[in-house]
């Protein structure tokens, strides 16, 4: 005759898995042979057997329907598979916290590459980014099992770890290893969830608002704790790293917190001096050229660079000036220039034509 497993565990037929587990633990503490003596061995085995069936959704369903089970006896934990220590870890529950910590696996850190403009690096920005974050699969509730049906790992009896007691010349030693059949979760998947292919995770676009501080540079990164991949089995989530990339700018080049740019001035301004308008990262300003400014002279605008990420102190803007030499001159301009700068023989020649012709002649010869 089939045994009434519900009666053995002292639970209702509608009892939840949690209630079944609780009842089992209570009874094993009471009837453990180490506690209750050898006479309770039979009873203890029976409790264990009942739990093996009722804690397994598939076996339980079969048992509920037919009132019996035809599971092979190897499914039932022998002295090897059953972890007696676990029962006592509930009594001395200093172990249970540690076990919980061992069980959960932390989620992976995620990386997101964000391209920003130099202007945005200058002023800082708040932006929303969409990142494909592996999130818990809704269909299987993250179990990875079809319809969320998990089987208690038969190797560790759902404890996630294997303890082996060994006698050594120095006494008894307990070896604890994470169960490698279930990876420490205590459950195994019989049939994979189709949505997540058994991983328990699906990628979902997650919108996150990020604040990028002013002064960030190429490869600066931002760490957002807890926004990475969710942890496994109660493990902590990973972090999200946002790596900054700065797009090339049409006029500025960045060197540390300084900004470099180039501009041209006409010959007149280079010679006589004057104001020229230059671009800054946030607008325009005028700089004064001294008389006789040479080509490739660099002017420094203090405090017009990028603010330092940590101190906020701004770098400088460096403007390299190139003097533009006119490619064509009117006859009048040429005459005047020859008069002003030319050699003696050119100055003597009123129209300046002769020397040009002479040069042509020379080149043709």
Binding site residues, Zn ion, CB under 5 A: 137, 139-140, 153, 155-156, 179, 181-182, 193, 195-196
- Report in angstroms how near the CB of residue 20 gets to Zn ion at its nearest: 19
- Report in angstroms how near the CB of residue 82 gets to Zn ion at its nearest: 12
Q: Which one, 21 or 320, has the nearer CB to Zn ion?
A: 21
Q: Which one, 54 or 137, has the nearer CB to Zn ion?
A: 137
Max Cα separation, the chain?
Answer: 134
- Report in angstroms how near the CB of residue 196 gets to Zn ion at its nearest: 3
Q: Which one, 131 or 156, has the nearer CB to Zn ion?
A: 156
DSSP 205-267: EEEEEEEEPTT--TT-EEEETT-SSPPBTTPPP--EEEEEEEPPPSS-EEETTEEEEEEEEEH
- Report in angstroms how near the CB of residue 74 gets to Zn ion at its nearest: 15
Q: Which one, 43 or 139, has the nearer CB to Zn ion?
A: 139
- Report in angstroms how near the CB of residue 155 gets to Zn ion at its nearest: 5
Q: E strands of 26-148, at which residues?
A: 110-116, 125-136
Count the alpha carbons within 13 Å of 2 in the hemisphere toward its beta carbon.
Answer: 15
Q: Which one, 145 or 261, has the nearer CB to Zn ion?
A: 145
**Are the C-beta atoms of residues 196 and 140 closer than 8 Å to each other?**
yes
- Report in angstroms how near the CB of residue 176 gets to Zn ion at its nearest: 13
Q: Which one, 162 or 276, has the nearer CB to Zn ion?
A: 162
- Report in angstroms how near the CB of residue 157 gets to Zn ion at its nearest: 8
- Report in angstroms how near the CB of residue 180 gets to Zn ion at its nearest: 8
Show Cβ contacts of residue 332 under 8 Å, excluding neighbours closer than 6 positions.
Answer: none
Q: Which one, 199 or 295, has the nearer CB to Zn ion?
A: 199
* Alpha carbon distance 102, 117 (integer Å): 44
Angle, vertex CA 101, rays to CA 98 and CA 106, nearest 5: 165
Show Cβ contacts of residue 203 under 8 Å, excluding neighbours closer than 6 positions.
Answer: 132, 133, 134, 135
Place of tokens 């565990």: 9
Q: How many C-beta atoms lie closer than 10 Å to residue 116's C-beta?
A: 18
Q: How many C-beta atoms lie closer than 10 Å to residue 147's C-beta?
A: 12
Q: Which one, 81 or 352, has the nearer CB to Zn ion?
A: 81
292-320 b/e with 16+ CB inside 10 Å = b? ebeeebebebeebbbbeeeeeebbbbbbe
């Amino acid at each position: 005759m089939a045994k009434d497993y519900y009666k053995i565990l002292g639970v209702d037929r509608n009892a939840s898995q949690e209630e079944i587990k609780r009842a089992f633990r209570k009874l094993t503490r009471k009837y453990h042979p180490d506690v209750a003596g050898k006479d309770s061995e039979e009873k203890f085995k029976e409790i264990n057997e009942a739990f093996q069936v009722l804690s397994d959704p598939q076996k339980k369903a079969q048992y509920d329907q037919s009132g019996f089970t035809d599971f092979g006896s190897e499914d039932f934990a022998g002295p090897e598979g059953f972890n007696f220590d676990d029962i006592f870890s509930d009594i001395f529950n200093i172990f249970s916290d540690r076990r919980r910590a061992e069980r959960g696996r932390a989620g992976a850190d995620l990386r997101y590459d964000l391209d920003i403009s130099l202007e945005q690096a200058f002023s800082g920005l708040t932006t929303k980014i969409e990142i494909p974050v592996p999130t818990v699969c809704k269909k299987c509730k993250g179990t990875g099992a079809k319809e969320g049906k998990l089987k208690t790992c038969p190797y560790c009896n759902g404890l996630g770890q294997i303890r082996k007691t060994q006698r050594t010349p120095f006494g008894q030693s307990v070896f604890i290893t994470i169960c490698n059949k279930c990876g420490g979760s205590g459950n195994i998947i019989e049939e994979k969830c189709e949505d997540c292919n058994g991983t328990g995770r699906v990628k979902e676009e997650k919108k996150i608002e990020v604040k990028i501080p002013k002064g960030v540079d190429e490869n600066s990164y931002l760490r957002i704790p807890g926004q990475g991949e969710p942890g496994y089995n109660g493990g902590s989530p990973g972090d999200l790293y946002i790596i900054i990339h700065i797009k090339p700018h049409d006029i500025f080049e960045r060197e540390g917190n300084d900004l470099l740019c180039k501009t041209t001035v006409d010959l007149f301004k280079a010679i006589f001096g004057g104001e020229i308008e230059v671009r800054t990262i946030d607008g325009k300003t005028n700089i004064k050229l001294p008389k006789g400014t040479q080509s490739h002279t660099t002017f420094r605008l203090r405090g017009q660079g990028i603010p330092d990420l940590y101190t906020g102190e701004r770098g400088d803007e460096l403007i390299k000036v190139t003097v533009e030499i006119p490619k064509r001159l009117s006859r009048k301009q040429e005459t005047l220039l020859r008069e002003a700068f030319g050699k003696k023989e050119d100055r003597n020649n009123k129209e300046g034509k002769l020397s040009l012709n002479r040069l042509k002649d020379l080149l043709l010869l």
